[in-house]
A and B are shown apart, each in its own frame.
Chain A
Amino acid sequence: MSIQDYSAKQLRDAIASGAVTSVAATAAIFQQIDKLQPSVGAYITTFKDRALASAGEVDRKIAAGEPVGPLAGVPIAIKDNMCTDFGPTTCASKVLESFSAPYNAHVVEQLTAADAVIVGKANMDEFAMGSSTENSGLQKTVNPWDATRVPGGSSGGSAAAVAAKMCYGALGSDTGGSIRQPAGFCGVVGLKPTYGRVSRYGLVAFGSSLDQIGPMTADVTDAALMLNVIAGHDERDSTSLGPDIAPACDYLADIDKPVEGLKIAVATRFNALADEQVQAAIAQALDVYTKLGAEIVEVDMPHFDYAVAAYYVIATAEASSNLARYDGVHYGHRTEKPNDYVEVYSKSREEAFGQEVKRRIMLGTYALSSGYYDAYYLKALKVRNLIRGDFTSVFEKADCIVMPVSPTTAFKIGEKTADPLQMYVADIYTIAANLAGIPGISIPAGFDNDNLPIGLQILTPAFTEAKLLRIAKMLENQTNHHKKHPE
């Protein structure tokens, strides 16, 4: 097996044992980046010199017998909406094209403390608003499986980088499916942790009650390894939960232990909204679980049909408020010649925000404006409660619920850009987990007739990521989908 085929954990172990050096692994990653970045476009920024220096320092520590962290020497990518005090943090927006953050996000500190090697910042939909990475204001990313197709979004650069082996793992962020959907489209593993599990300090805010950072990796074990590094309490994010509610946990410890007496909920009516090939892959996966002794429990999710509508009110309302900070005054783009101080705001914002970001700011502002607040925003928050209630009922009957990640496999570039509503509605399977704050994972579940990856999603109750990962690993152990890679 070549070094390129190692998982993050295998590489970590090989580096720790002295079998390979981090410098060699990092140099190999940059060879791959040099080869594929022009066609795939996964990264906005790369840090070759810095990464090789970090790798050299890890190799030195290991040679000297010094203790090293759990990701020692492993090249990792970060979505470009997480602040780094080195290089730009752009959110793929012209607003922040030349913005350099003065501090590191909590997750960047955690990766650094774990001795990971940070390779670069990955492309995304501008301010994480989108499902295809076509809304990036800076560059294009394509799906490594088919260059005519989107990688998904908004963490499309992170997913493409993992799939194309331009890193050994990546961080994404997920507000309505932005980790799980691109993971599904690119045939990798994507984990959205419970809201509050990972600190959002230094994550550029989109929908603050929905955003969560999580790992995107080659397999389930690597997701557990990376979650170990990034999870935990951080007082700088008041929504990051302490050990009283979210006790620290070693997600790797029991990863290979199957869940005994596993009960899997399935909402057949809801799953039937997906393409036939997607449905077939889900059915096959459920057969695997059944053979392992799991029991399938049919459930109804009566309010799921309303999740997309509730989400696009809540997320845009929060976004319109969060993005008010881009006013051209303290940082970010400022218009050249404002006629008055109002134009500093209104022209700067007009010039630098992309169409989808403007559309969402407009929608959110409308939903919060006088006379419409009760009808839209308050109504959506009430429906959010009903959707959470649906999950509560399901988890009284089953350990998890299994469904597609998206109704289709990766769609063609340009296919959905003309109709924003069509793009929104395709988020149907991922959005509910964000509204309910629960964890979800996307794992490879097969390929369609065009050889495009199909993703399967598993959702479990809040703060049960350890069990979620074990359930995912049960399927992965029986299949080889995650071992297939784009050519």
Chain B
Amino acid sequence: MAKKIDETQVRKVAKLARLQLDDAEVAQFSTDLSSIVEYIEKLNELDTDSVEPLAHCLPVHNVFRDDVVKPSLTVEQVLANAPQRADDFFKVPKILDDNSGA
């Protein structure tokens, strides 16, 4: 039987989720996600046409505060867990090609 979520779909979702899965994981997740999604489809037994979606249960909606400046973390605190830093910056690999013209 064809799987509900085949390996091509798993690879597409993994790309969206920024997970560089190996081949064994792709196969495993195709199996796992297929059986979980099949189970989840039991939701379709319910007629929900006239039901509002409920994103959260609180009787509050927008919560505003005054726009005032308050103390925040210091640069040293913020950078303390950085995998790599250069001076007061987070260091990451180059994002643009050398010849991108940017």
Contacts and interface: CB of A to CB of B under 8 A. Distances in A.
Interface of A: 98-100, 102-103, 195-196, 209, 235, 238-239, 241, 245, 303, 305-306, 308-310, 312-313, 320, 324, 327-334, 338, 340-347, 349-350, 353, 355, 358-359, 361-363, 365-366, 369, 376, 378-386, 388, 420-421, 424-425, 436-438, 462
A362 B19 contact: yes
Query: Of residues B5, B10, B36, which shows the largest number of chain A Cβ atoms within 10 Å of its Cβ?
Result: B36
B32 A359 contact: yes
Contact of B65 (A235, A346, A349): A235
Query: Of residues A245, A361, A425, which shows the largest number of chain B Cβ atoms within 10 Å of its Cβ?
Result: A361
A238 B90 CA distance: 29
B13 A358 contact: no
Contacts of A358: 19, 21, 25, 29
Contacts of A338: 93
A359 B36 CA distance: 10
Contacts of B21: 350, 358
Contacts of B51: 382-383, 385-386
Contact of A245 (B5, B46, B55, B59): B59
Query: Of residues B17, B45, B52, which shows the largest number of chain A Cβ atoms within 10 Å of its Cβ?
Result: B17
Given A334-B84, A380-B43, A437-B57, A349 B18 contact: yes
Contact of A320 (B10, B17, B45, B94): B17
Nearest to A196: B58
Contact of B33 (A328, A350, A353, A359): A359
Contacts of A436: 57
Nearest to B49: A382
B10 to A, nearest CB: 7
A329 B20 contact: no
Nearest to A237: B63
A78 B44 CA distance: 40
B84 A379 contact: no
Given A366-B13, A376-B43, 5 more contacts: A102-B78, A331-B83, A350-B21, A361-B19, A381-B53
B39 A421 contact: yes
Contacts of B42: 305-306, 309
B19 A329 contact: no
A421 B80 contact: no
B75 to A, nearest CB: 11
A328 B83 contact: yes
B40 interface: yes
Interface of B is mostly: loop
Contacts of B57: 195, 209, 388, 436-438, 462
Contact of A195 (B25, B29, B56): B56
Contacts of B52: 382, 385
B86 interface: no
Query: Of residues B44, B57, B59, which shows the largest number of chain A Cβ atoms within 10 Å of its Cβ?
Result: B57
B71 to A, nearest CB: 11
Interface string B1-16: 0000100011001101
A388 B39 CA distance: 21
Interface of B: 5, 9-10, 13-14, 16-22, 25, 29, 32-33, 35-37, 39-46, 48, 51-60, 63, 65, 73, 77-78, 80-84, 90, 92-95
Contacts of B19: 346, 349-350, 353, 358, 361-362
Contacts of A100: 80-81
Nearest to B77: A102
Query: Of residues A382, A424, A462, which shows the largest number of chain B Cβ atoms within 10 Å of its Cβ?
Result: A382
Contacts of A425: 39
Contacts of B45: 306
Contact of A379 (B48, B55, B81): B48
B46 A386 contact: yes
18 contacts: A100-B80, A196-B60, A209-B55, A238-B63, A303-B46, A310-B43, A331-B83, A338-B93, A342-B18, A358-B19, A359-B32, A361-B19, A362-B33, A366-B5, A366-B37, A380-B43, A385-B54, A388-B57
Contacts of B80: 100, 102
B17 A365 contact: yes
B56 A329 contact: no
A376 B33 CA distance: 13
A388 B54 contact: yes
B16 A332 contact: no
Nearest to B15: A346
Contacts of A361: 17, 19
